[in-house]
């Protein structure tokens, strides 16, 4: 996620750096669970609070939260050396299949046996499923964080767009109906997280990003998804290319902003910004999709991790399952059903996305092994394709080839799809 809720204060950033530097030296402490996370934004402070609350219960094995910048690179380093491997780590859902294929993750069988409430029935289905590979649970989900669409209530009312929200599915055609009706300097939608928007449209159109395990981006479905969104740009309804549409929304000049669940707290700090949240717009009046991911709690293979530490990890994960309403303060959707169904959670704006079965199902997590390469390519090319800066057929071909080349480099063999 490129845009978090804002940068941490310098002192917190320095503290995170210090923690990252000392993480390896504490990895073998029998009385401490070393817990690495990539939470370099304000969400890291919320996780600090959760860890503190847990340690205040005086557990047999306490947890040390280590915010680790460039975490995946550091993980690769310690796994290669076999030294300083963390006891517990937060990884993103799309990383699970690759790590399992590389035989890097330990299953959660022992952890689930130690804490029987860590089971499928107690978690949102797509979050739990993201940690399950071929019937084995390799990660326990903490949350779902998703692309969503905020709306400026004043502007929506001003331009008579309230009806767009009535069915919780704002369509591109509805947005296009505002062409020529906006005051100068006002726009219908920005280009925040535009790659995520395109990946959601792929699902709305019944497509996918892979076929038989190979990347599949140069397709009619991808082309249609981009052309549908491009209509908004061509009509002059999208914030200008090169401008920060996210800040323009906060400035009161944009009706709809397609950023993330985690942005709700940042938007709430903006004086006089009266906003609500709904699903990301769709070309289809019948389907909407909010491209999502999940922070997953996982254990990398580590011969030095003791049974006592595994028991401690199980206790900590059960604490997170029961108490992750604190995590909702960071704009996240907790994966725990007990939490999302609790009255306390309903005060958070993102509770909208678990308010009905249809909403929960709209949170789509890609689990393709090479999803990270796909996401990088879509993020890189989507904005120029939508703005008409590059030819769409050439752009799709380049996108496909770039992902295939990265897969080939990673596997040390021929590029996928060749």
Rounded Cα gap, residues 169 and 157, in angstroms:
17
pLDDT mean over 367-379: 96
Specify the pairing of strand 290-293 against strand 363-365.
Answer: parallel
For the domain covering 10-142+294-355, report its CATH number: 3.40.190.10
pLDDT at position 300 over 80? yes
Least confident span in 21-25, 208-212, 292-296: 21-25
406 has pLDDT over 70: yes
Nearest alpha-carbon partner for 97 in 371, 414, 378: 371
| Distances in whole angstroms, Cα of residue 385 to Cα of each of 7, 195, 196, 216, 391 | 30, 11, 14, 17, 7
Check if the beta carbon of residue 186 is closer than 8 Å to that of residue 316.
Answer: no
Whose tokens are 């949170």? That residue is 363
Mean pLDDT of the chain, nearest integer = 92
Provide the 10 A C-beta neighbour count for residue 236: 12
- Angstrom CA distances, 135 to 120, 129, 210, 310, stand at 12, 9, 22, 21
Output the six-digit token pair for 190: 């920005």
Fold of 147-292+368-411: D-Maltodextrin-Binding Protein; domain 2 (3.40.190)
pLDDT at 335 exceeding the cut of 50: yes
- 187-197: pLDDT as tens digits: 999 999 999 99
Return d(Cα 310, Cα 21) in angstroms, integer. 24
10-142+294-355 matches 147-292+368-411 in fold: yes
Domain ranges of the chain: 10-142+294-355, 147-292+368-411
Whether residue 307 is predicted with pLDDT greater than 50 in this model: the reply is: yes
Q: Are 147 and 200 in contact (CB under 8 A)?
A: yes
User: For residue 394, what pLDDT is reported?
Assistant: 98
Give the other-Cβ count within 10 Å of 141's Cβ. Answer: 24
């Amino acid at each position: 996620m490129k845009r978090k809720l804002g940068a941490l204060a310098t002192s917190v950033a320095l503290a995170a750096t210090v923690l990252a530097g000392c993480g390896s030296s504490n990895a073998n402490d029998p009385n401490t669970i070393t817990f690495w996370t990539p939470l370099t934004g304000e969400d890291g402070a919320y996780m600090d609070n959760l860890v503190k609350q847990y340690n205040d219960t005086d557990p047999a094995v306490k947890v040390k939260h280590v915010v680790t910048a460039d975490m995946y690179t550091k993980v690769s380093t310690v796994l290669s050396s076999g030294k300083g491997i963390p006891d517990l780590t937060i990884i993103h859902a799309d990383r699970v299949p690759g790590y399992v294929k590389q035989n890097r993750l330990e299953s959660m069988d022992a952890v689930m046996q130690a804490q029987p409430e860590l089971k499928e029935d107690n978690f949102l289905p797509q979050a739990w499923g993201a940690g399950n590979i071929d019937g084995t649970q390799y990660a326990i989900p903490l949350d779902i964080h998703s692309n969503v669409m905020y709306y400026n209530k004043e502007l929506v009312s001003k331009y008579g767009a309230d009806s767009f929200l009535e069915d919780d599915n704002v369509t591109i055609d509805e947005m296009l109906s505002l062409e020529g009706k906006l005051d100068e300097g006002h726009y219908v939608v920005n280009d925040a997280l535009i790659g995520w928007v395109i990946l959601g449209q792929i699902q709305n159109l019944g497509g996918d990003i892979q076929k038989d395990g190979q990347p599949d981006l140069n397709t009619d479905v991808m082309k249609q998804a981009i052309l549908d969104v491009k209509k908004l740009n061509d009509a002059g309804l999208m914030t200008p290319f090169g401008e920060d549409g996210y800040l323009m929304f906060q400035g009161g000049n944009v009706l709809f902003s397609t950023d993330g669940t985690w942005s709700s707290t940042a938007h709430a700090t903006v004086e006089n910004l009266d906003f609500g949240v709904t699903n990301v717009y769709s070309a289809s009046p019948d389907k909407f999709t909010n491209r999502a991911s999940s922070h997953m709690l996982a254990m990398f293979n580590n011969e030095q991790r003791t049974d006592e530490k595994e028991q401690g990890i199980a206790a900590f994960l059960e604490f997170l399952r029961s108490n992750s309403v604190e995590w909702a303060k960071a704009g996240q959707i907790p994966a725990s059903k007990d939490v999302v169904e609790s009255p306390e959670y309903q005060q958070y704006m993102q509770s909208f996305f678990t308010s009905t079965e249809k909403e929960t199902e709209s949170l789509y997590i890609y689990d393709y092994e090479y999803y990270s390469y796909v996401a990088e390519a879509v993020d890189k090319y989507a904005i120029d394709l939508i703005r008409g800066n590059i030819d769409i057929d050439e752009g799709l071909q380049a996108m496909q080839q770039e992902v295939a080349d990265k897969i080939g480099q990673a596997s040390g063999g021929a590029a996928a799809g060749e």
